[in-house]
A and B are shown apart, each in its own frame.
Chain A
Amino acid sequence: MKNYNKFTSYLYILPAFLLVFLLLLVPMFQNIYYSFFKWDGISKPIFIGIGNYFQLFKDLNFLTSFLNTIIWVVFTLIFPVFGGLLIAVFLRGIKFGNFFKSIFYIPITISFVATGIIWNYMYSREIGILNTFFSLFGLDKISWLTNVPLNTFALLITWTWQQLGVNMVLFLMGLTSIPVEQTEAAMVEGANKWQVFIHVIFPMLRPITTVVIVMATANSFKVFDLIYVMTRGGPHRSSETLAVTMFRETFTMSNMGYGAAISVVLSIIVVAISAVYLKNMLKKDLLYY
């Protein structure tokens, strides 16, 4: 009976396992395999060992792309994550809170492609609402998406607009789970609101903060659609991130092997950062509790 139950459990996970195996693991290993080849996607692949990986370090565009990715990660941690936390804290218990929550959450329900198109129009030099608004004050028109490095920050503003909502919801969940007694006790002891937040609420939010940071970091590393729709990584490759460079090398330039190598490096960075962060945070959580 015990064995039968075990077998049933395996059967239940089999469909999910097969999906992951076929659609994630097999392509993943295939991708690693192709990263050792020079291949245009049509002709016969030529084995070049770690040649593609060496090429990465000589490629200035890869370095620009890497730096842009770091900017994306840092900006994401400051604005969408910290902003989400602030909004969650200030929205707790205010009048019309649900209304504001909905307002902040709506952007995440829109696809990245649609978001990109909408913001493209908003950033349009000639017909965009932003330049129209600024022109009311006699300001010059700005080329938001083609001035370097302004274009990267214009993309990050769009990204923040969309990502704030999801982080806000996650932090709200965390805030709801904090027992009221603890904050009340701190206030009875004479702590002001700021002290309560720093010494009681924020430490108790650590598990959810860990989740938000890991998710936000991983998402910012792999951001592609928004950049592709809005600037295609341009002008002159100035707003490319690693995911966009990977796409460009693979599908525009038909350098399948080189594109695969970029994606392997990207995956290693994301997994390594997430693993180190999670390990440290879990250790702290164990100490804390």
Chain B
Amino acid sequence: MKRKWIIITTIIMAIAILFSLPLAGCKTTTTTTAAAETTAAAETTAAPETTAAETTAAETTKGEVVKLSLLHDKGGNPNFQPYFEEMGKKTEELLGIKIEPVPYPTTDVFMSTVKAALPTKDAPDLFTWWSTYRMKELIDQNLLAETTELWQKHKDEYSKGLIDAFTFNGKSYGFSYTQEFWPMWYNKDVFAKLNLSEPKNWDEFIKVCETLKSNGITPMAQTVQARWPTFIMFEQFIMGEDPQLYNDLCNGKVKYSDPKVKAGFEVWKSLIDKGYFTDPGIDYFTDAPNMFNNGKVGMILAGTWYYQSVLVAAGVPEDKIGAFIMPSQKESAGKNIILEMSPILISANSKNLDAALKVTDYLMGPEGNEIFASLNKSYQSNMKSSTDFLPDVKKKIASTVKDENYNILNRYWEATPTPICEEAVDKFAEFIQKPNTLDKILSDLDTIADKYWSANK
């Protein structure tokens, strides 16, 4: 009798264990398959397409709305959730496909969640991501659905540069829902009070800083909080030395200890030493707009998204906000500005791939591409979309970039490989707090970059 019960219990346990193993290991199995065999990945992509087409067709017959998940990391500050919700309402109304945004408050958690889900059948349909190197690592693993045909369809509506940025080895992925320049925001009231005007060159810029400083106003905001904002000034000063140097540095063709790179850091250091930056202990999203509004800080270098979702959201009156493009410290570097592209990508393993591509087609078009941009008052990527909604300050930035033929450079976060960027931002923080240790920091940065490039050249 006892033996019988032991056997029954053992069988139950064995079944439980058998069920548990695939559960625990399912992610790894899918990952390995996707990574090892391109053919298998292509088949995986094809399979959901059929399923998605069938699902969409079946649901359309019933008159039901197809729901697409959209994971994004802009659920904290800035908060894009209401804009994505609005976008979802619009696509539901027009296409019968509802986008359901799922916000994540922090970037690391968002990235790890998306990366873990992409190889599985629970992959999000759509997700926001970053361009260039950050996108490439997903493409290399066959985790993204192609959008080549859609880019071909809309090719006359996009600049060549943007099309190229979304094309890897002749294939395109995702689309750009908005794009942002990185100008210098300034407090118009403070500038008016001190009789300052927008600087046109480096000398004028330094003059502005001196005047602000001598009147008890910290010229610029700078922070080491939240890690990533430390690259803001770095990219500005390297680009201001030589835009080609910036690109070469990002692509591993130049070392961080290169004398020209060091010269860029030294300009940055000289401004820190002169007290032209706030204490780096401030928060760029809570303290900085508050100080800007109260006239304690004169200028903040940030993406154009900062205008609506940070400054205006923090209560800064729109007529108080001006913007100019920060001049290069070296005249030979020419006129340069950082561009941040904002891609939405489609998972290869999306259960609703057909619907996801349909919605992508709409959002790439002139009308669809305007939805998010008009809500966030940011730049649409489609050249044929309306720009009427843009505030004057942003219209002016766009026209300056176009009319004065600015060099547009990719933001550091996307322009250099992720493993380098993630470690470099901590080194930039160290530099901001200890600018006298520049040589050691440059040497550390070389070690970080060399480690990556030696394994990935």
Contacts and interface: CB of A to CB of B under 8 A. Distances in A.
Nearest to B431: A236
Contact of A125 (B137, B279, B426): B279
B224 A42 contact: no
A253 B225 contact: no
A127 B290 contact: yes
B108 interface: yes
A147 B281 contact: yes
Given A44-B35, A236-B224, A236-B433, A14 B115 contact: no
B430 A235 contact: yes
Interface in B267-318: 279-283, 286-287, 290-291, 296
Interface in A38-52: 41-45
A97 interface: no
Given A22-B23, A146-B225, A42 B426 contact: no
A42 B143 contact: yes
Interface string B118-143: 11000000000000000001100101
A109 interface: no
B4 to A, nearest CB: 9
Contacts of A124: 283, 286-287
Interface centre among B23, B119, B290, B433 (most CB of A within 10 A): B433
B419 interface: yes
B192 interface: no
B225 A234 contact: yes
Interface stretch (A137-145, A168-176, A187-195, A198-206): A137-145
A253 B422 contact: yes
B158 to A, nearest CB: 29
Nearest to A3: B2
B292 to A, nearest CB: 11
A239 B380 CA distance: 40
B426 A234 contact: yes
Interface stretch (B24-32, B64-72, B334-342, B358-366): B24-32
A232 B423 CA distance: 13
B224 A234 contact: yes
Interface string B396-416: 000000000000000000000
Contacts of B31: 41-44
Given A234-B227, A234-B429, A236-B427, A41 B23 contact: no
Given A3-B1, A251-B112, A18 B426 contact: no
Q: Is the interface of A mostly helix, strand, loop or mixed?
A: loop
Interface centre among A126, A127, A232, A237 (most CB of B within 10 A): A126
Contact of B279 (A121, A143, A247): A143
Given A42-B35, A141-B279, A145-B281, A30 B24 contact: yes
B281 A250 contact: no
Given A30-B24, A124-B286, A144-B281, A232 B35 contact: no
A21 B20 contact: yes
Given A146-B225, A252-B108, A253-B419, A18 B16 contact: yes
A7 interface: yes
A26 interface: yes
B85 to A, nearest CB: 23
Interface residues of A, number: 42
A51 B24 CA distance: 24
Contact of B286 (A42, A127, A253): A127
Interface centre among B28, B141, B225 (most CB of A within 10 A): B225
B9 interface: yes
Given A235-B224, A235-B433, A253-B422, A126 B282 contact: yes
A204 to B, nearest CB: 44
Interface string A106-146: 00000000000000010011110000000000000111111
Contacts, number: 121
A10 interface: yes
B429 A235 contact: yes
A125 B281 contact: yes
A43 B287 contact: no
Contacts of A252: 108, 111-112, 422
Contacts of B419: 253-254
Contacts of A237: 426
A207 interface: no
B226 interface: yes
Given A236-B224, A236-B426, A251-B112, A10 B24 contact: no
A125 B287 contact: yes
Contact of A22 (B12, B24, B112, B426): B24
B36 interface: yes
Contact of B430 (A18, A231, A236): A236
A116 to B, nearest CB: 11
Contacts of A43: 31, 35, 141
B81 to A, nearest CB: 17
A262 B287 CA distance: 35
Contact of B281 (A30, A41, A42, A146): A146
A146 B112 contact: no
Interface in A221-236: 231-232, 234-236
B173 to A, nearest CB: 15
Contact of A41 (B21, B36, B116): B116
A44 B36 CA distance: 7
Contacts of A251: 108-109, 111-112
Contacts of B115: 41-42, 254
A149 interface: no
Nearest to B142: A42
A135 to B, nearest CB: 13
Nearest to A121: B286
Contacts of B225: 145-146, 231, 234-235
Nearest to B107: A252
A181 to B, nearest CB: 50
Interface in A18-62: 18, 21-22, 26-27, 30, 41-45
Contacts of B24: 22, 26-27, 30
Cβ-closest 7 pairs across A and B: A143-B281, A251-B112, A146-B281, A235-B224, A126-B287, A236-B430, A43-B35
Given A42-B34, A42-B35, A146-B280, 16 more contacts: A7-B5, A10-B9, A30-B24, A30-B25, A126-B286, A126-B296, A127-B286, A127-B290, A143-B280, A232-B226, A236-B224, A236-B430, A247-B108, A251-B111, A253-B422, A253-B423
5 contacts: A3-B2, A30-B24, A41-B31, A125-B287, A127-B287
